[in-house]
Structure 1
Amino acid sequence: MAPLSTAPAMAGHTGGNPARMSIRRTAGSAWPDGDTGTAFWLMAPALALYAVFTLLPIAATFWLSFNSSAGFNTSASFVGVDNYAKAAQDPIVWKSLGHTFLWLAYHVVMAGGLGLLLALAVSRLRITRVFFRTAFFLPHLVSLAVVGVIWANIYDPFFGLLNTALTRIGLGAFTQGWLSDPALVLFSVNVASSWQGFGLYMLLFIAGLQNIDHSLYDAAEVDGANAFQKLIYVTLPGLREVTTFVISLAMINGLKGFATVFVMTNGGPFYQSELITTYIYRLAFQSQDHGLAAVLCILLSLLAIAITIVFNRWRARLSQ
């Protein structure tokens, strides 16, 4: 009888029906009374860092895009949309933008495609799978600046590994100035960048292959499908989600192709390997035209946002 006698007292102590309090708590604020201020002060350091290192630079970039400035230690004058008009009339801007789209296509095909091929090959191994998976991923741990130095020496027209190997195997007619030929320089630099990035995409594809139901392969064998047909009708559809993610990730990573190009060619020869990112650096730190550089930063940000939105919608359609 003691528990029965204490129940009303407990209800009176809590101020009413516990079920009614639970409903009131659910219908009201997600935070208990008095804890909102505590939550705000707990988030305040992170919000302050976000404001200082993200929101403030974004606002400063927009401000610079409407001003003529040669640096923070000089006076800035408001010029309106003159920087935007100047960017539209600059032929190097359009050339670097075209190179950026071509760079993205190269990176998706070479880095993403090589990652898929190696994932298919490594997944068939049994004993040496871990070794090759680790070995192919190691280049991704090397910084792009170091990759640029390594491949610049490989491409050296006189002492580089590539031309030397071609000469020794009797293919000296195919030796090239890989970084001095305007028709080859962008492709050559992208090979170095793709070599650094394919390991990550390979691991993503391997993870996707492990999630495919193996009973689908058994059913395909019963239907008489050969290896190529199983690849087309089972493996690739099973990798659809991973493929769209890899493509979007490769395009975002491709937009960050500054380090490799800057180290290997600095945008040359004759702007034939100039990207938006390298041209931004040239304008901001060599020409001291911060207004035009800010306009191109905004253009690059809008390009990254557009790519992300398009591929998210594409992924959503494929998942339906």
Structure 2
Amino acid sequence: MEMCDDIYANVDTIQPSASKTTADQNPKSSPGYQHSGRKLYRWTAVCLGLLCVLLLTAITLLCIHYNGVVNETMEKHRELSETLSLLTANYTAERDQLETINTILKKQRDQLSIDKDRFQKIISELAVESRVGSYKALLRGIGEFPFPQGAQPCQLQLSGENAIPLAVSPSGHVLLAASRYGRGKVVVAAHEDYIQGAIVIPAFGQFVKNAIEWLKPHSHAAVGVSGMSYLADHLTKSGFKVKSISNYDGTVGVFCREAYSDEQVQEVLDFVRGGGGLLIGGQAWHWASQDPGLDVLQEFPGNKFTRPAGISFTSKYADRGTFKVPQEIPIL
């Protein structure tokens, strides 16, 4: 009986322990657990609040920055608009100015064209007057030319607007001619005897004096004579300052020579082009008969001096006889 009571007594003692163990095995119902949960919620709320503050701050800063960018962009746009307006105004003004200048230039161009035509007409008239004046000056005091039978001349070929026929046979053969080359002048005879014979044939004597006066670049110019002693004597007696020289030496204003040598071609051409005068005589038919395969116009020595001025010696015989001097320049 006593044993049974002890057992029940022990059972009653053990039961509270079992209840404690069960209570310990459920932590959510414990006061400590509930306190920790409340702390976690509070920290979460604080973090969310801080994030909201940071986000609001970031949004505020972005708004401020955006407003600044917008204001700066608008200011630049305003400046660009003002610049564009100014450039447009300047462009319009410059365009109007250029149009005005263009109109003025067109009027000036038209006027210059009119002036050019007028001057060309004047120059043409002066050229005609110059040719006529030269023709009359070279043939002053001469009524006819007696080309003697003893000397066989060649025909002279003329080209260009500067060449002037001075003595022409009835059949159109040119025996005396003149031309301008650069600032200088050239007189050509179709045989050297027409220059040398000046001392014995009055018409040729007068012609040579006229030619020297026409060829001289100035009144005091000396006359150089190469190899033609009769011509030198005639010019000396006529009152010209004469120098007998073998080649052009740069000290004379007029140079006289025969057409059978091509020494100093470039020097003489430069001399004439610069304003000097050249009197030259010869015939090419004999030279051509000695060298039949050569081109007379290109290779004959005298043509190297005269062809640039538009006068050429040819291999063709020219007429001889007494030919009248016409009042006007002959038309070939």
TM-score range, shorter chain: under 0.3
TM-score by length of 1: 0.24
More strand by share: 2
Larger Rg: 2
Could you state the TM-score of these two structures normalised by the residue count of structure 2?
0.24
Structure showing the higher helix proportion among its residues: 1
